Chains A and B, each alone.
Chain A
């Protein structure tokens, strides 16, 4: 309740800030700039197109769902950056619906409908709401009712038996409810039921996209780097420093069992990346001749293939296109590291992100977006790193960040949110930006987190830990 009010107030404040600043900026896709300055918790300069995002209001449900469910759904809808979160005047205490008869509202199966029957649609329309979401608890079932305010009726009712709040599956199940609301209202799949991996203090951690439920997933005390998700969301790969070499592992998220990848014992293998079909792992291998991109067959843990032959240059940090046909990577063949692309078999290597020789700084850490249209990377600009986005079709680059040092971007499955490392608040932590609205929020309030990797949409069973 408090959370909803705070979020609503936040939206209203930013709305005003945005309107006042929305003067000369073109409002096409990907035009949003990270122009926010974070100083003592105050944000200014958020730019988006007002009126485009539909308004949504979260209704108080009767019987009430646990506060945690309500708070998580409210935050997920807000963090989707697709809605204007509308706060009810006077908060939840006011009587919103016309009096529904107590007998009707207590009828089983009609709980959500009872609310709906008496919803004062014109009032919500006047408040700017396009959708109203009611959350109610009927015995062990949570009922989510999505009202289409303009149409004056219920668009969708979702019934879900949630695991108990103490269950490790609870939050992901609630996140899925929020994604269902998004799907039902806008027809777009959400990213609420996703998680991120990142490295802190040499260990791999996992966290929900809303910054909650942090969990250590490293299964050893060795120093780890470069976590990467498989497209099925059930496995992830990472690198661990062993005596004198770097060892790659693929670990099962649910069982926490892991398997070493192509043990040679002497090479430094790093930056693993799964092919979209999950059958191949591309990675960088540093040997005395330099660093090059290799692939290995994961199923049989065999068939090492070398895709680049650097000789006097380094080739590293492979990232697959979502169709699995191409690999973007970093190469120092022209001197400073820059972003190149090749076919998945190593042929047809060419420059990908254009640069001015002798002027453009080092470019590193590419990640291909899940929709295939963009490659995010970071580039040295005047001695500090900034996040850039390459448009794959036109091969033009756009600088996304400008405040502080910003690096290692990773895409959300909706291809419109990016998580990256930034020191804009005074210390390095993980931030999430929405490319459509330019809205930016910290994922963590903790120093030292880095090398984030955003999961795909997680399958139902990925959360169930035995």
Chain B
């Protein structure tokens, strides 16, 4: 029992000796603290860089995914848009020197009504055309009536008149070059083209 206090004392003495016998530089605690903070700062920077890189990677990944998704959906939409455009461009035809809509073409125009309703930003131009048999200049008036007839049909089915322009090219722009009824029948037509709002089209 008595030896324990002695050991403690000896220990204390040794400690005291050690303390007194050493020659520690007086400024040692300072540099030690500085080194720590530099390291910490360094670590922090490394961490933040890593985090930033990770973030960037994540963002890139997200963007890539988003792009992929967008591309996928655009492709899908593109297919739709193409299909709708084709439907919209379907021509209607007329009898010689007539501008009335033939019953057989009503379905084609109904389709256009649907497309215009499904795509409220879509604006179109209807051009009226004639065959070569009539008078060159009179055909401009006739083509105008043909374009207007189609417009009136669309407007009477609820489409805003402001979304449809009309023009006539008379017999100036034939699509069939022959000089027989087959060619003439093809040339007596209305064409439908997109003016604006046709980048992405919804199915009716």
Contact = CB atoms under 8 A, between A and B. Distances in A.
B172 A202 contact: yes
A245 B135 contact: no
Interface residues of B, number: 22
Contacts of B141: 284, 286, 290-291, 314, 316, 332
B140 A407 contact: no
7 contacts: A241-B172, A246-B140, A314-B138, A314-B142, A362-B138, A364-B138, A407-B135
B151 A365 contact: no
A408 B135 CA distance: 8
Contact of A288 (B97, B136, B148): B148
Name the prevailing secondary structure of the B interface residues: mixed
A244 interface: yes
B168 interface: yes
Contact of B135 (A287, A288, A291, A364): A364
Given A266-B165, A284-B140, 9 more contacts: A244-B125, A287-B144, A288-B166, A290-B148, A314-B142, A330-B138, A337-B138, A365-B135, A450-B136
B137 A270 contact: yes
A338 B136 CA distance: 15
Contacts of A286: 140-141, 144, 168
A342 interface: no
Contact of B169 (A241, A266, A365): A241
B202 interface: no
Nearest to B165: A244
A284 B144 CA distance: 12
Contacts of A383: 133
A220 to B, nearest CB: 15
Given A244-B125, A290-B145, A362-B97, A271 B137 contact: yes
A226 interface: yes
Contacts of B145: 290, 314
A69 interface: no
Nearest to A421: B136
Contacts of A284: 137, 140-141
A385 interface: yes
Contacts of B166: 288
A241 B169 CA distance: 8
B168 to A, nearest CB: 6
Interface string A314-353: 1011000000000000101000110000000000000000
B36 to A, nearest CB: 75
A382 to B, nearest CB: 13
Given A244-B125, A314-B145, A365-B135, A270 B167 contact: no
Contacts of B142: 314
A271 to B, nearest CB: 5
A378 interface: yes
Contact of B134 (A223, A244, A271, A362): A362
A225, A244, A286, A314 pick with most chain B CB within 10 angstroms: A286
Interface of A: 202, 223, 225-226, 241, 244-246, 266, 268, 270-271, 284, 286-288, 290-291, 314, 316-317, 330, 332, 336-337, 362, 364-365, 378, 383, 385, 407-408, 450-451
Given A314-B141, A362-B97, A225 B135 contact: no
Nearest to A336: B97
Contact of B137 (A202, A223, A241, A317): A317
Contacts of B137: 225-226, 270-271, 284, 316-317, 364-365, 451
A330 B170 CA distance: 16
Given A241-B169, A288-B166, A362-B97, A268 B135 contact: no
Contacts of A241: 169, 172
B136, B145, B165 pick with most chain A CB within 10 angstroms: B136
A226 B97 CA distance: 21
A340 to B, nearest CB: 14
A380 B170 CA distance: 18
Contacts of B151: 288
B136 A378 contact: no
B139 to A, nearest CB: 9
Nearest to B195: A244
Nearest to B140: A270
A365 B135 CA distance: 8
Contacts of A450: 136
Interface in B126-169: 133-138, 140-142, 144-145, 148, 151, 165-169
A128 B165 CA distance: 67
Nearest to A385: B135
Contacts of B167: 244-245, 268
Interface in B97-145: 97, 125, 133-138, 140-142, 144-145
Given A284-B141, A288-B151, A291-B141, A268 B136 contact: no
Contacts of B168: 268, 286
Contacts of A287: 144
Contacts of A407: 135-136
A116 to B, nearest CB: 52
A268 B172 contact: no
